[in-house]
Structures are given as structure tokens and as C-alpha cells.
Amino acid sequence: MIRISTIFIAICMVLVAASLGLLLYAVAGISGTESAIVALTALTFLILYNAVSMRLRDRSDVGGQIADLSRGTADLARQVAEFGRRLATIEARIASSNSANSDRIQSVVGEINELGGLVRQLATTVSAHEDLMAGNAPVSAPAPVARQEPDAPLDLMATFEEERPAAPAPAPPPMRPAAPAIQTQTANPVQTANGRNQTQLLATLRNATDENRIDIFLQPMVSLPQRKVRFYEAVTRLRDERDQLVAAEEFISIAEASGLIGRIDNMVMLRCVQVLRRLMVRNKEVGVFCNVAASTLGNSTTFAQYLDFLEANRALAPSLVLEFKQSTFRNLGPAETENLAALAQRGFRFSIDHVTDLRIEPRELADRGVRFIKVPASLLLDPRQASASDIHPSDLSDLLGRFGIDLIAERIEGERAVIDLLDYDVRFGQGFLFAPPRPLRPEGSSATAAPNQAQDIQGSNGSGISSSGATSAASAPQRVTGNAALARRI
């Protein structure tokens, strides 16, 4: 839009040119045509002069604006350069920090690898020492024992304050070659059936059941290789009139034949629930394995009472694992299958022990609710199993894991077995190497748990045997297991 000043200037130029033409025509006597030409020429010069002056003025204004823009651009460039310098400084600090952290991590990883190598060498040395001591230990006749002190009780509240299970307790001696699948007991032996006939044992069993002298011992199951307690197995023990312990495998067959096994299983389950509630006060992730006999599963009357009790304690189902023998699962009848399904519907998980071979169908077991399988370490490490079973023992853990079943290696007695089992990717272990079965400390007792002076039999109802007397060769295995415990603490 044309400015008002420009219009005013144009009008003035036209008036000046017209005035000049009229003046020449009137005063000088020039003709009208010549006067018009002179006026038009003057108007043209005025227009040119105005245009040139305006162009010069605009150029000065544009020059000033360009100078301001140049100064602003220079300031912006300076700020960008400052930001670039700061960013480069930050990147340099991050790079140096990453380099320092990488160096530290590499050094720590190197130290850990070196420490792992040293521990592995130490474990190998201790294992070789154990084998040497076991091979050279003299065997003498068992000395008569009038009465042995009971095992040191297990303090459930103090258990989780220790990172390793039963660290102060000495581990048991290694297995004898004549019976590799059975764990022996060399100290604090329990009274066996050798000193009483079946009639006396049945009377003792009835009295113990009526007088509530059925006790449970706890043996921890640890994670490998961390050796942290993850579960406990409840092992049944019977106390006779003289408070001597009778192992489960000595009376289990008589209890099944006499029909007392149902009452015993109910009493054991009650103790397991009480123990589990005490354990969960300190650790919500702990679990307890409780053994169930096949006759209990097949007896409708006994199982109805059993199921009612479990239904009342259904909230503990994620932490309470019911354990059956492998033979029980292979010989399930219609009633047993229905009762097993009733337990699975209530959220209880199952475990299989007393495994005698590796012919396992993980899909079928997982559909039935099995989540754990306990296999003896000697069976897993037996090279003959590779040809006798459909799968190599080293692949068993991965196969079971695909169906949500965890493999537990039981009856572990030496460090060498632990090293071999780690190569098989076994996640859990159980055995005298970690801790023997121990009785419960009475609730509310403040005394600390003393080192266990006895080594009990391992497993569930009916697993393993117990020795009838302490032998004079027990001192040599104790020295060996003390070294093994020292190696574990290192």
C-alpha cells in the first residue's frame, strides 16, 4: 500500500512542474507547447531525484538490519559452540566412566573366575582326600552302646540366618562300595529290628501311635551351586518306651500290614503343617516335602480324613509338597488316580522319590501334578544308565524343565558328586554332604542348635538303612567330612 508521504511528495512535484510551465508561458512568452515540455522535463527530474534518494535511504536501513542479523547469527553460533563444548565434555566423561567400569568389571570377573578355579581345585582335592581316607580307614567290630544322646534339635528360626545349610555340622562318611544306593549311619545309632521280633515291633508301633510318639526330622534341600536352603523333607521317626529312635524303613511295612499307616500319615501331615507355618514366619518361599504312603491314597476312609485336613489348610498348598514313591505312580488304580486328582485340584504339588530307573514320562507326570522328581546321585552318575534309559542322564534336567518339573539329586555324600551334577544342570540337591536329618527344636526354645552328633538315615518312609552300633572307624570319616565342610565354607 502506498504511503501518504509518497502521495504528498508526488502531488508537490506535479505542482512544482506545472507552476514552472505556467511561469515560462506567462512571463517569458514561451508558447504553450514548449512550456509543457519544460514542465514535463522538470517533473521527470524531480521523480528521478526522489527515487534515487529513497533507494539510498532504504539501502542504509537494510544495511543496518543486515548488521543486526549478523550480530545475532554470531551470538547464536557462539552459544552453539558452547553447547557443543559442554556436550563433548559430557561424552568424554561418560566414555571414561564406561571404560573405568568395564575395567573394574573385567577385573572382578577375572577374580571370580580365578576364585572359582581355586574352589574347584580345592573341592577336587578334598574329594580325593575323602576317597583316600575312605579306602584306608580300618573297619572294626561295632562297639556296644548302652544309650546314645538324641540328635541336636533343629532351630527353625535360626535356619534362615545362615546362608549355608547346617554349616557347623559334620557331614557323614562316604558310602561303602557294597551298597552305593544306601546311606550309612556311623554315630548315634537307633535301635533296629534286629533286637526285636515283628510282634514286639508291632506292639511298640501301636503304643507309639497311641501315645503320640511319632516324630519328624527335617533334612534340607539346597539350591546348587549356591547351597541355600529351599525346601525341607520331613523324615519320620518313632520313639519306643526307652526313647530310642526307630527308623521308618523298620516299621513301615508292619504299619501298612496292620493298617496303622493311615494314622501315622495323618499325624505326620499335622506335624508338617505346624512346621511349615513356623517356617513361613521367617521365609515365605520355603517348602516342606511330606511323604504319603500308597495305602493311604487307596483307602477311602483314611484318605477322606486326610483330604479334609488338607482342605482346611489349602492356603499352604503352594508350599506343601506331597511325596510318593515311583512304584506308587506306576501302579495307580482307579481309586488312587481319582484321589490324586482331588489333591491336584486343590492346588497341591507332588514329588516322586525312590526312583529306581530313568524311564520317566515327564508329560504324563506333569499332567498328574508332579513338579519335583528326586533321583539318587549315584543313579544319575551311573554310566550304565545312558544305555539302559531312553535319555542320557545329563539331558534329564532339561527334559523335565520343559514340562515344569524340577530335578532334585538326593543322597549326595561327596564334593565330587556335586561337581559332576553341576555339569548335568541339576538345580537342587539333598544329602548328608549338606546336612543330615535333624529333630525339631521345641517352639519358644532360646538355646542355639548344637552341632549334630548323629547321622540319621536319609530319605522318606522306607528309604535307606540304619546301623546298629557305632564303629571305631567313625573318627577317620569325621576328619574327612570336617575338611569337606571347611571347603564349603571357603
Q: How far apart are CA 432 and CA 451, in angstroms?
A: 14
Of the listed ranges 22-36, 124-138, 303-317, 427-441, the least confidently predicted one is 124-138
Nearest to 285 by CA among 322, 218, 234, 231: 231
**For residue 466, pLDDT beyond 70:** no
Q: Tell me the pLDDT tens digit for each residue of 210-235.
A: 888 888 899 999 999 899 999 999 99
Q: What phi, psi does 324 have (nearest 5°)?
A: -125, 160
**For residue 36, pLDDT beyond 70:** yes
Mean pLDDT in the chain?
78
Predicted pLDDT of residue 136: 57
**For residue 208, pLDDT beyond 90:** no
Predicted pLDDT of residue 56: 85
Greater confidence, 473 or 149?
A: 149
Greater confidence, 282 or 171?
A: 282
Q: Tell me the pLDDT tens digit for each residue of 270-279.
A: 999 999 999 8
Contacts (Cβ under 8 Å, ≥6 apart) of 386: 392, 393
Question: Are residues 366 and 374 in contact, defined by beta-carbon separation less than 8 angstroms?
Answer: no
pLDDT over 90 for what percent of the chain?
A: 32
**Average pLDDT value for residue range 420-438:** 93
Nearest to 186 by CA among 412, 479, 462, 409: 479
Where are any strands of DSSP class E within 276-369?
A: 287-291, 320-325, 349-353
pLDDT band at 2 (very low <50, low <70, confident <90, very high): low
pLDDT band at 443 (very low <50, low <70, confident <90, very high): low
Burial classification of residue 85, based on how many CB atoms lie within 10 Å of its CB (0-12 exposed, 13-18 middle, 19 or more buried): exposed
Predicted pLDDT of residue 169: 41
Q: How far apart are CA 284 and CA 405, in angstroms?
A: 21
- The angle subtended at Cα 463 by Cα 475 and Cα 484, nearest 5°, is 35
pLDDT band at 409 (very low <50, low <70, confident <90, very high): very high
Q: How far apart are CA 269 and CA 310, in angstroms?
A: 9
* Secondary structure (3-state) at 413: coil
**Average pLDDT value for residue range 232-251:** 86
**Average pLDDT value for residue range 342-369:** 93
**Average pLDDT value for residue range 250-262:** 85
Looking at mean pLDDT, say which of 134-138, 139-143, 284-288, 404-408 comes out highest: 404-408
Q: Tell me the pLDDT tens digit for each residue of 57-92.
A: 888 888 888 888 888 898 899 999 999 989 998 988
Q: How far apart are CA 452 and CA 306, in angstroms?
A: 33
Predicted pLDDT of residue 474: 35
Q: How far apart are CA 30 and CA 26, in angstroms?
A: 8
Strand partners, 409: 375, 429
**Average pLDDT value for residue range 126-146:** 61
Q: Tell me the pLDDT tens digit for each residue of 307-355.
A: 999 999 999 999 999 999 999 999 989 999 999 999 999 999 999 999 9
pLDDT band at 399 (very low <50, low <70, confident <90, very high): very high
Q: How far apart are CA 451 and CA 60, in angstroms?
A: 102
Contacts (Cβ under 8 Å, ≥6 apart) of 48: none
Q: Are strands 370-376 and 214-223 parallel, antiparallel or unpaired?
A: unpaired
Amino acid at position 168, single letter: P
Greater confidence, 183 or 432?
A: 432
Q: How many CB atoms lie within 10 A of CB 478?
A: 17
Cell numbers standing for residue 473: 572307624
pLDDT band at 164 (very low <50, low <70, confident <90, very high): very low
**For residue 490, pLDDT beyond 70:** no
**Average pLDDT value for residue range 373-395:** 86
Of the listed ranges 13-17, 145-149, 254-258, 287-291, the least confidently predicted one is 145-149
Q: How far apart are CA 488 and CA 434, in angstroms?
A: 9
Q: Tell me the pLDDT tens digit for each residue of 297-309.
A: 988 888 999 999 9
DSSP state of 314: G
Greater confidence, 201 or 151?
A: 201
Strand partners, 247: 237
Greater confidence, 321 or 101?
A: 321
Predicted pLDDT of residue 165: 42
Predicted pLDDT of residue 152: 55
**Average pLDDT value for residue range 230-255:** 87
**For residue 137, pLDDT beyond 80:** no
The whole-model pTM stands at 0.55
Q: How many CB atoms lie within 10 A of CB 218?
A: 24
Q: Are strands 349-353 and 214-223 parallel, antiparallel or unpaired?
A: unpaired
Predicted pLDDT of residue 289: 96
pLDDT band at 422 (very low <50, low <70, confident <90, very high): very high
Question: Are residues 204 and 196 in contact, defined by beta-carbon separation less than 8 angstroms?
Answer: yes
Q: How far apart are CA 292 and CA 464, in angstroms?
A: 17
Identify the residue whose cell numbers are 544308565. 385
Of the listed ranges 96-100, 129-133, 189-193, 339-343, the least confidently predicted one is 189-193
